Amino acid sequence: MSYTQRHDGRAPDELRAMEAKVGVIKNADGSAFFKIGNTSAYAAVYGPRNLYPKFLQNPDKGILRCSYNMLPFSGSGERIRPGQNRRAKEISMVTEKSLLSVLNLDEYPNAVVDVFIELPQTEAGSRCAGICAASMALADAGLLMKDLVSAVSVGRVGDMLVVDLDYAEEAYEDGPVADIPVAMTHNSSEVTLLQMDGEISKDMLMKAVEMGKAACEKIYEVQKEALKKKYEGAE
């Protein structure tokens, strides 16, 4: 049986419900919360601040350091042991790369901008939710940015192309699945994160990325509204 109707009734290009808020962690220089479906992420930015040990410093410009972490109770199965596993380390690295190109850290030699992403609950799309929250938190921290980054996972479930796959779709067993997290910048429409697991033709992939671009525009609107809300002083 082929997948022609999404199991939760969403249209192929429909995202799960989103929620975004800025300035949620008081101690941080910038922070944000982003929720999509049952996946939620907090991001806090500290810095630019001094970087130690000193050998990590770059005298030419500041460095960006991201950390992605699922809280122990945030998985749908057993408790997750604290401490970064290999998966979390890889996601931290790709998150860093997805955000780096919109920042200008030339004015902060020897300094670091730390971004901490913590997820209290996850149900697919957690790295993308983390990137969305982190991008807003960086803006909230008042860092010079060329653009905002939005991210979503797109892909195929059976022969259907969809955006924002949920857990059941990622685990679809009656046909091929491809899960493709993408991150994009708003103004320049550049791709800053691209990963995939599964199988897909070039043609389908390009169509899926095109859908990701449209979905990222919707996410961008939610991010922008949250940022504006804080600075309008409205609740």
Q: Write down the H helix ranges in the chain.
A: 86-100, 126-140, 167-170, 202-232
123 near another protein, rule: CB under 8 A: yes
- What secondary structure does DSSP assign to 61-103, as a single string? S-EEEEEEEE-TT-SSSSPPPSS--HHHHHHHHHHHHHHHTTB
Q: 37-56 mask for another protein (x: CB under 8 A)?
A: -x---xxx-x--x-------
The reply to whether 25 sits near another protein by the rule CB under 8 A is yes
- Considering only residues 9, 17, 78, 86, which one is a binding residue for another protein as defined by CB under 8 A? 78
Q: What is the DSSP letter of 145?
A: B
Of the candidate residues 11, 26, 232, 234, the single one contacting another protein (CB under 8 A): 26
Compute the distance between CA of residue 168 and CA of residue 17 in angstroms, rounded to an integer: 16
Q: Which stretch binds another protein (CB under 8 A): 71-79, 152-160, 175-183, 199-207?
A: 71-79
Query: Which one among 95, 122, 135, 153 touches another protein, defined by CB under 8 A?
Result: 122
Q: How far apart are CA 103 and CA 223, in angstroms?
A: 17
The only residue of 118, 147, 164, 169 in contact with another protein, by rule CB under 8 A: 118
Query: Who contacts 160 (Cβ-Cβ below 8 Å, separation ≥6)?
Result: 2, 3, 4, 6, 12
Choose between 52 and 55: whose C-beta lies nearer to another protein: 52
Report the sign of the C-alpha dihedral through residues 216, 16, 117, 80, in that order: negative
Contact 100, 183 (CB under 8 A): no
Q: Does 67 bind another protein (CB under 8 A)?
A: yes
| Contact between 111 and another protein per CB under 8 A | no
Q: Residue 132 interacts with another protein (CB under 8 A)?
A: no
Give the span between the Cα atoms of 3 and 170, in whole angstroms: 12
> What residues numbered 134-173 form the site for another protein, per CB under 8 A?
none
Asked if 235 touches another protein (CB under 8 A), the answer is: no
Interatomic CA distance for residues 191 and 150, integer angstroms = 10
> Taking CB under 8 A as the rule, does residue 126 contact another protein?
no
Binding site for another protein (CB under 8 A): 25-28, 38, 42-44, 46, 49, 67, 69, 71-79, 82-84, 114, 116-118, 120-123
